[in-house]
A and B are shown apart, each in its own frame.
Chain A
């Protein structure tokens, strides 16, 4: 691969207490591309995703072995502040989770509190909402509660909220699994657009979605990285039998 690698994993093991959820994972994520993580339920996709912005730190008793490099630096190094990492590596969750605040304040919340990009908040809010293709729908109701938006709008708001922090990487954990087909299509279009400026790593159970939107695809099975390659290759001519079985729906 010719692209610059923004995140690299070297022999990463991950433990929830005594039980190991990821086995010896080594992989690189190319900058400004979309990488899809696929695999049957419980194989460790979310675990891997949350490892990349140190969200797993919040779960008591978890442990990481190996190296997770972001722009060449190990994010699990003793003097790295996880809070700083999360500002550069944003996250969108499976279920839309806007704050019970106004639309405006949902976007402005992060920049205001972290002092990042706090220059012109109004402009930042507008820009973020435009990037998330939500501006036209909400520009007249910025001071209304975000809880009144539809599920799809809420998810785009959550994307806008993450973008307002101007991250380098956007992690998405099944961002469309709670949405209807039209909202899903909108988010997929949005991802296409965003990859011009952001590195996107997305977990999905939807094979068509992975095939449509990603440049590379990684297939996991019970904590192991089975196959990782260009999406085209994975979906037309996978090297491993297990991968083929999974994407053709023979198991999983």
Chain B
């Protein structure tokens, strides 16, 4: 009797240890892969990083000098994409969750949005080329590139905003409506402010994507080389991901510029993390006295 209880406990203990072991191992593999990747980039790229590298124009057919215009360009494009994607995405999510009568039509639209999230980015690039660059005659420009990237991150933002809006307790809406406050005022004064931290969290994913994609800006915004910074939103820009692509594939100095390529990758990662950090700081500010 005692024997069998003992052995069944042992078996259970063994299973538990095994299971935790597997979970730990998976975590370790991911951490190692990620750490290894970062380490590899840092080791190869850190050598070229200095103040000049991030503050000066490229020289000698881009084999020397800095990458300042690409940094500036990527920041312009990413901020532009957020300015376009965030309001549009939040507005769509508000319509989908707060106004639309839930039914088959809305379900189909939501599936469509999810599919859009999986469309290869080069398709967005061609779409941007066709619509913004050619048809609307924006040319290859910050505007066209931001619009294209804005559309690229739209599904991410809509998804994040929908989740965040749904997480706002129904009792808040009822409390506001029962006071005789109109529906749209309830949404703008109660629902949206409480959903905003969640919207930002989800949108961070979109920011990384907007900053890092090459294909969507290749035809719509990015220049191989510009001698000076753009003067308006109709100007072309250099951008970090495209610059890396150019250095690594085009020209005759591919091997020679290897350290610069890694340095540029490192800067790109830093820019993305910087924007994320900004979003996180804004979010924690907003959350300060919003607990429920």
Contacts and interface: CB of A to CB of B under 8 A. Distances in A.
A91 interface: yes
Contacts of A162: 178-179
A86 interface: yes
Interface stretch (B66-74, B167-175, B247-255, B276-284): B167-175
Interface string A61-87: 000000000000000000000011111
B174 A87 contact: no
A59 to B, nearest CB: 11
Nearest to A116: B180
Nearest to A106: B175
Interface residues of B, number: 22
Interface stretch (B51-59, B113-121, B132-140, B182-190): B182-190
Interface stretch (A92-100, A128-136, A185-193, A204-212): A92-100
B172 A114 contact: no
A99 B175 contact: yes
A147 B189 contact: no
B24 interface: no
Contact of B194 (A58, A100, A113, A165): A100
B157 to A, nearest CB: 23
B257 interface: no
Contacts of B292: 100, 147
A91 B291 CA distance: 23
A55 interface: yes
B180 A114 contact: yes
Given A60-B101, A113-B189, A91 B178 contact: yes
B289 A145 contact: yes
Interface in A152-191: 158, 161-162, 165
Nearest to B179: A110
A87 B171 contact: no
Interface of A: 53, 55, 58, 60, 83-88, 90-91, 93, 95, 97-102, 109-110, 113-114, 116, 145, 147, 158, 161-162, 165
Interface of B: 101-102, 169, 171-172, 174-182, 185, 189-190, 194, 289-292
Given A83-B181, A93-B174, A109-B189, 11 more contacts: A55-B177, A55-B178, A60-B101, A84-B180, A86-B178, A86-B180, A97-B174, A98-B175, A113-B181, A114-B180, A162-B178
